[in-house]
Structure 1
Amino acid sequence: MTDSVLAFADAQLDASVERLAALMRVPSVSTDPAYAAECRRAAEQLAAELAELGFAARVADTPGHPMVVAHHDGDGPHVLFYGHYDVQPVDPLNLWTRDPFDPWIDTRADGSKTIVGRGASDDKGQLRTFVEACRAWKETEGRLPCRVTILFEGEEESGSTSLEPFLHAHAEELKADFALICDTLMWDRDTPGITIGLRGMAAGQVTVRGPSRDLHSGLYGGAARNPIQLLAGILGEMKDADGRVTLDGFYDGVPDTDPTVLESWNKLGFDAGEFLGEIGLRVPAGEAGRTVLEQVWSRPTAEINGIWGGYTGEGFKTVIPAEAHAKVSFRLVGTQDPDQVWDAFQAHVRRRLPEDCTAEFESRGPGSFAISLASDSGPLVATQAALDAEWGKSALLGCGGSIPVVNSIRSILGMDSVMVGFALPDDNIHSPNEKYELKSFHKGIRSWVRILGALGETARARAEAVIA
């Protein structure tokens, strides 16, 4: 059955590329009010297409740009697919080879082809892989193997201001068994990735105050406390010689990495020397005894993101500053509590302050918990098997960053998300000459065909086992 669906997807590739190009021609730049009408046009275009495929689709207004919501009945599990139709601004325009909203196919020296234009990879090309997979199922089988709800957002590139209120207001309509998200990366051109974790975050600013005013270092040097030196020393004590964070209780809730996941990472052929060499470094700086992939994908961090105080202008001014400032952030894993971590940081600073100095803290909004998906979860196992069948291999990937919608879906809708993407690190996302590999687009469609089929088949097999 899946073979005929895949054959249709192959035969329709040129038409699929043109449908992607038609969407890319709509300059749906969400951050610029001048493009508000274009954002609506993109939403209406997608809703009309989904309606033609048999979805109950609509453009749903928000205080900002509209959402596209669509539903289709089917057997098997109920999945919520999320993507976004809005794009980043194109500046600087002079660095584009051609008009960024007039997409084109670029053929490289090795014969491979890319689709070039704003939104090619982020996220119009990615969301279209799923829509085209649904098209292939409907045109060949007259059905979808899963019950599918689609949510396309129009403000992802401008802060997703309307997203959480919309999820709260429409929670019953949007709840499903789990979510599918296509806005992430492959490991390389031949290895797709399943992102199984997103680290949480706690962050903010600290200000340490000492003398009542800036002081002449010739008059007060040695006798008066220097807040920059004080703060630098306190921050330096956040890690020990082995790279472990010293905040009290920091590692509460931090699990060891799943051996199955570690094994999959070890098969990737990752070169730590090359990874660090690309940025002019050689020696890993994280926790001793942990691989570089563990450090960036599954371990918590404590980072100083900026530090300043005193005179920093041109020339030289010999002052002892009255205060010093630093911005710090903590990437969290497992069940680490962002509020607890921020409190532990404040306690770390305050315990080390002399009695005549003070500290003030400003948290950068509410923190976020980490998100992880068990490597043996049913949807993930089915997805991995489908990707293995299409690509010959797949990778279980951790992630050092965060995707806000994943936290929103979990906290508001109570659902886990399976994150599968077909973008590459060199796709120039948010930059001039953004591109999407034609191979990624084609095999992305085929991958979603297989994933939908695998999810439906898994549910059918379980149902038969229960009856038996």
Structure 2
Amino acid sequence: MTDARRTALAFAEAQRARFLTEYQDFLRIPSISTDPAHATDIQAAAAWVANHLRTIGISHVEIIPTTRHPVVFGEWSGAGPAARTVLIYGHYDVQPADPLDLWTSDPFTPTLVGDYVHARGASDMKGQVTAVLNGIESALHAGGLPVNLKFLIEGEEEIGSPSMADFISNHRDLLASDFSLNADAGGLVEGIPAIGYALRGLTYYDLTVYGPERDLHSGGYGGVIHNPAQVLCDLVAGMHDASGRVTLPGFYDRVRPLSEEERAELARLPFGDEHFRQQAGVAELWGEAGFSAVERIGARPTLEVNGLLSGFTDEGSKTVLPAKAMAKISMRLVPDQDPREVRSQFLSYLAAHAPATVRWEAKELNAASAVITERSTAEVQALQAALQTVWGVAPVFTRGGGSVPIVADLKQILGIDSVLTGFSQPGDRIHSPNERQHLPNWSRGTDAIIHFLYNLLQ
């Protein structure tokens, strides 16, 4: 072990208490990106990140406005012009805390419970951001790094990063790097470190079916006017067949099949179908026939209804035939599906199946491509070695079921791959009440980042 690496690790160990205090200060900021009422908090969170970068030794730091929420950019070029440059990605925004009555403590008052800290953003992603920054600070304290650093910390990830594609396009030279480190796209598999090498894409729609010009008396018009709620239910029900496959025309044409080697690697993960059944609290699993739950989540596309709204939904009864019905529908996409082609497939399905008795509208809210990274790259191997050093066990490789739009944007616009990891656990209740972060893993994450950075020199 080099002296610099040893010094960095010793510094991190000595600063654990301070790191935790700073982390808790970050968690106290209710930086909810979807709620305009928290615009001031968004600005405060961006300022916190910028100030923290300056404090740890990043001299060039800017808060750059976007059409929505600001980006915090930073740069450290102390390794020299011949060294590689790593783009550190993160986000400072969080999900809403609702429903508040299910929290056991205030969501923006970080609360220590055993080895955990409970707060909104504790895991997603303020815990991951601070773990990475702590590792970088420790390495800088030890006298420098073998790579140059750039930072892209955004405030829109929880609303789909709508400004990021334009921001990256408009700042190509500023952000030019060799690869990105993203700790928001992976986590521990119940004590085993993990490296994500693929993420699903996303396309999301509001589908609205319109019937009469106003709500009608169901006794006077039922059986005469086609109920838009019934039409919507029929359309949604027809989007899957009996074996769980999506019925949009051409939906599977571009789906990249899993190789036998990948299926064997995914089968090594220490959880199977029963794990997902227990985690979800359901009697039986459901999904596309012929694939395990792990394969369905990481490597197969899906179509889900995220919400339904129509007619009268308050307490009691009101006999109306609703004027419209709306469903929120998302599709998770895999390599090599194109969101634009999927949109065409979705619209073709609706045009073919919606009756002439109604009119419909499909509004696209989000779209992002799937991404996949080669596992043999030098940076992935550097992270693999770092995680094994800290946890004492070889990490597993995972395909994430979720979407991180920035990863696709960085690949398509800057041409760089992302190394994906994280230090959360499956039970950390991300996006749910009582979100938490396991603090021993958080500290190990900092040590892993130190090893990763020095491994890049090898």
TM-score normalized with structure 1 length = 0.81
Find the aligned partners of 2:150 and 2:210 in 1 and give their Cα distance: 54
Find the aligned partners of 1:304 and 1:432 in 2 and give their Cα distance: 22
Partner of residue 47, structure 1? 53
Q: 2:54 is aligned with what amino acid?
A: A
Find the aligned partners of 2:140 and 2:21 in 1 and give their Cα distance: 22
String of CA shifts for 1:77-113, please: whole Å, max 9, x gaps.
3211112345667785995658955x6765x3xxxx3
* 1:367 match: secondary structure: strand
Find the aligned partners of 1:378 and 1:327 in 2 and give their Cα distance: 41
Partner of residue 193, structure 2? 192
String of CA shifts for 1:48-79, please: whole Å, max 9, x gaps.
2232xxx4432334265461412234365321
Does structure 2 retain, via aligned residues, the 8 Å contact 1:390–1:447?
Answer: yes
Find the aligned partners of 2:260 and 2:427 in 1 and give their Cα distance: 30
* Offset at residue 117 of structure 1 (A): 5.6
Does structure 1 retain, via aligned residues, the 8 Å contact 2:304–2:331?
Answer: yes
Partner of residue 60, structure 1? 63
- Alpha-carbon distance change, 12 to 375 in structure 1, aligned in 2, over 3 angstroms: closer
Partner of residue 79, structure 1? 86
Partner of residue 460, structure 1? none
Partner of residue 35, structure 2? none
Partner of residue 206, structure 2? 205
Find the aligned partners of 2:422 and 2:2 in 1 and give their Cα distance: 21
String of CA shifts for 1:274-295, please: whole Å, max 9, x gaps.
4223433233221101001111
Q: 2:65 is aligned with what amino acid?
A: T
Partner of residue 462, structure 1? none
String of CA shifts for 1:331-357, please: whole Å, max 9, x gaps.
111121222222222222222344x42
* 1:357 match: secondary structure: coil
Q: 1:58 is aligned with what amino acid?
A: V
Find the aligned partners of 2:42 and 2:212 in 1 and give their Cα distance: 51
Moved more, 217-226 or 255-264: 217-226
The residue correspondences of 1:30-429 to structure 2 (distance < 5 A) are 30-31=31-32, 32-35=38-41, 38-39=44-45, 41-51=47-57, 55-62=58-65, 64-65=69-70, 67-74=72-79, 76-85=83-92, 100=108, 106=113, 108=114, 113-115=115-117, 120-140=122-142, 142-154=143-155, 156=157, 163-209=164-210, 225-317=226-318, 320-321=321-322, 323-354=324-355, 356-391=356-391, 392-429=393-430
Does structure 2 retain, via aligned residues, the 8 Å contact 1:85–1:124?
Answer: yes
Q: 1:59 is aligned with what amino acid?
A: E
Find the aligned partners of 2:64 and 2:453 in 1 and give their Cα distance: 29
Q: 2:444 is aligned with what amino acid?
A: K
Q: 1:9 is aligned with what amino acid?
A: L
String of CA shifts for 1:401-455, please: whole Å, max 9, x gaps.
2223223323432322111110123435566765432321222122112222333
- Alpha-carbon distance change, 383 to 198 in structure 1, aligned in 2, over 3 angstroms: same
Moved more, 303-312 or 262-271: 303-312
The runs of 5 or more residues in structure 1 that have no matched partner are: 458-468
Q: 1:259 is aligned with what amino acid?
A: E
Find the aligned partners of 2:234 and 2:385 in 1 and give their Cα distance: 50
* 1:195 match: secondary structure: strand
Find the aligned partners of 1:225 and 1:98 in 2 and give their Cα distance: 47
Does structure 1 retain, via aligned residues, the 8 Å contact 2:186–2:420?
Answer: no
Does structure 1 retain, via aligned residues, the 8 Å contact 2:108–2:120?
Answer: yes
Percent identity between matched residues is: 33
Moved more, 157-166 or 397-406: 157-166
Q: 1:417 is aligned with what amino acid?
A: S
Moved more, 126-135 or 193-202: 126-135
Does structure 2 retain, via aligned residues, the 8 Å contact 1:104–1:117?
Answer: yes
* Offset at residue 363 of structure 1 (A): 1.9
Find the aligned partners of 1:4 and 1:336 in 2 and give their Cα distance: 45
The runs of 5 or more residues in structure 2 that have no matched partner are: 33-37
Does structure 2 retain, via aligned residues, the 8 Å contact 1:117–1:435?
Answer: yes
Moved more, 290-299 or 319-328: 319-328
Partner of residue 12, structure 1? 12
String of CA shifts for 1:350-409, please: whole Å, max 9, x gaps.
22344x424322323352211222333443233223323332121212222222322332
* 2:149 match: secondary structure: strand
* Offset at residue 327 of structure 1 (A): 2.7
The residue correspondences of 1:430-445 to structure 2 (distance < 5 A) are 435-445=436-446
* Offset at residue 230 of structure 1 (A): 3.5
Q: 1:174 is aligned with what amino acid?
A: L
Does structure 1 retain, via aligned residues, the 8 Å contact 2:308–2:327?
Answer: yes
* RMSD over equivalenced CA pairs, Å: 3.5
- Alpha-carbon distance change, 384 to 426 in structure 1, aligned in 2, over 3 angstroms: same
Partner of residue 25, structure 1? 25
TM-score normalized with structure 2 length = 0.83
Does structure 2 retain, via aligned residues, the 8 Å contact 1:304–1:328?
Answer: yes
* Offset at residue 270 of structure 1 (A): 0.9
